[in-house]
């Protein structure tokens, strides 16, 4: 039986640049750096964001941008703080997708390796309740 998410790994062209993003935007704490003697496939670093283990590994950037993404939960009142952190690193902030009221707000941004990140203020329970309410109203 699946217990939880173990970790998320991002392949990045520049470990230091991604370290700065993780630390500045997400408040990540570095807990391991392989240096030039990796035990895995390539040099890597491990971080914690809350209880989540995030790994970054040296490699080739994604060739294109897609909507595949990882979304992190933030408080609605903190959205401007995170937007400022992202902009301070000159990251590519995307326009938000159209949303229905009650779905939460999001910030979408790409790193230099074409990974898409989302910072989202909503919850699954809130989204399901909103969709249910809208479906009932439409019937």
| Rounded CA separation 112/20 (Å) | 12
Burial of 128 (0-12, 13-18, 19+ CB in 10 A): exposed
Out of 23, 44, 103, 139, the active site residue is: 44
The question of whether 64 is a catalytic residue gets the answer no
Residue 71 is given by DSSP the state E
Q: How far is CA 134 from CA 35, 76, 99, 102, 103, in A?
A: 52, 22, 12, 10, 11
CB atoms within 10 A of CB 69: 16
The catalytic residues are: 44
């Amino acid at each position: 039986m699946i217990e939880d998410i173990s970790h998320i790994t991002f392949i990045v062209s520049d470990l230091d640049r991604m370290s700065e993003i993780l630390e500045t935007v997400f408040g990540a704490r570095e807990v391991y750096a392989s240096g030039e003697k990796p035990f895995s496939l390539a040099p890597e670093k491990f971080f914690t964001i809350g209880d989540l283990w995030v790994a970054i590994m040296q490699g080739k950037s994604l060739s294109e941008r897609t909507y595949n993404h990882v979304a992190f939960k933030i408080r609605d009142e903190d959205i401007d703080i995170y937007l400022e952190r992202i902009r301070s690193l000159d990251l590519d902030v995307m326009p938000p997708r159209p949303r229905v009221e009650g779905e939460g707000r999001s910030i979408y941004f790409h790193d230099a390796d074409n990974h898409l990140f989302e910072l989202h203020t909503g919850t699954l329970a809130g989204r399901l309740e909103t969709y249910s309410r809208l479906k009932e109203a439409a019937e």
